[in-house]
A and B are shown apart, each in its own frame.
Chain A
Amino acid sequence: MSVLSFRLKGPLPGRVDASPLLPHRLAALTVTEIAALPLRLGRGHVVVGELFDLSGGPGDTVEIEGDGRLDFVGAGQSSGTIRIAGAVGHRAGTGMSGGVLVVEGSAGLAAGAAMRGGVLTIGGDAGNELGGALPGERTGMMGGRILVRGSCGDRVGERMRRGLIAVGGDTGAYAALHMNAGSLLIGGRPGAATGHGMRNGTILFRGEIDPLPGFADCGLNQLPFLSLLDNHLSELDGVPPACRGLTGRARRWLGDRGFGGRGELLSCL
C-alpha cells in the first residue's frame, strides 16, 4: 500500500481548492502528472508542484500537510484514505460518499456537508454547518459518520436525513435544525434552540438543557437501543470519549411539535 504525501512549500498565498486531490483520481496518475495538476487558487490557478513537495507513490492513501486556507479537502471522496496533518479550510469532505478522511487539526465551515457515506474524523474543532446541507438543498447529510473530538459551531446536522454525527465538545446554536432523521451525539453542552424544527431523528447529549417550547417532556425512560448504540460506538475508531458510556437511561423530549415533528432529545445519564 503506497502513500502519497504532500508537504507544503510555505504558507498558502490564498484560498486553495484541494478537491482534485482524491486518492482514486490520483492513483491513475504518475507523480509528475500530479505535480502538474492545476488547483484553483483564489481567482486563478496554480499547479500542485508550486505549492507542495510530493513524496511517495500514488495509491489508496494521500497525506496532506494542512493549512486553514486549504478548502474542499476530500470533497466528493468515494474511496481510499486522506490524512491531513494540521487544520483544513472550509467544506472538507463535502458530498463525500465513501472512504476515510482524517483531519488531525480543526476544520472550517460546512465540513462533511451533504455527506452520503464514509467517515470524517476531525481531531480539533469544527466550524458552523458541520454535516449540514448545501445552500438551497432540501436534505443535508444522507449517510456516513462524522466524529469530532472538539466542539463545533452553529447548525450542525442541518436537514440531516441519515448517518451519525458525534461531537465530543459543545455544539453551537440550532443544532440539528430541521433534522429529518439520523443521530447527533453531543459530548458537551448543546447550544441554544437545539432541535428547532426537527421532524424525526435523535439528539443525544449529557446534562441539562432548556428545550424549545415545541418539545414535550416524556420524562426518564430506559431505552434498550442506547446500549446497542453504545456497543456499536465501542467498535469504532475515533469516537470522542465524551460520547461513550451510554447506560440506556435517558430523559426524553419529543418534538419539534411546532413543526409536527416526533424526533427526540435524549439527555443521557
Chain B
Amino acid sequence: MNQLIISAATEGAEAANPLVPNLWEMGVVLAGFAVLFFIVVKFVVPMFEKTFAERAEAIEGGIAKAEKAQAEASAALEEYKQQLTDARAEANRIREEARAEGAQILAELKEKAAAESARITAQAHVQIESERQAAVVSLRSEVGTLATTLAGRIVGETLEDDARAARVVDRFLADLESQNAGVAK
C-alpha cells in the first residue's frame, strides 16, 4: 500500500511540474471567482452598505433629535425664568403702587375729615352765634316787656305806648351795658 502511494507520488512528480497549471482548473477558478464577484457586487456589498448607512443615519438622526430636544428644553426653561422674573417685577410694581395709592387715599381721607370737622365746627359757631343773637333779641324784647309791665304795675300808669317804652328800655339797657363795661374795665 505504502509502496504504491510512494511510487504513484514519484511518478506524478516526474510527470508534472508544480508551476505548470492545469488549464481546466484555471477556468473553474476564473468562472467561480467571476460568479462570486458578481454576487458580491450586485447583492452583498450594496445590502451591507445600505444597512451601514441606515444605521449611521439612525444614530446621527437620534443625536440630532436629542440635541434639538435639549435646545428646545433650555429655550423653554429660559422663557419660564424670564416670565418668572417679569412676574416678580410686576408683583413688586403692583405692591408699590398699592402702597402709594393707600397712602394717598389715607392722606385724602385725613384731609377730607379735617375739612369736614372744620366745616362742622364753623357751622356750629355760626349756629351758636345766631342762636345767641336770637336769644339776645328775644331776651331783650321779653325783658323789656316784663320790665315795662312790672314798672307799669308798680307806677300805676300805663306804659303801653310802645315807642316810648322801647326808648326807656333801650336807654336802661345801654346804661346797664356801659356800667358793665366800666366794671369789666
* A and B held together in a complex: no
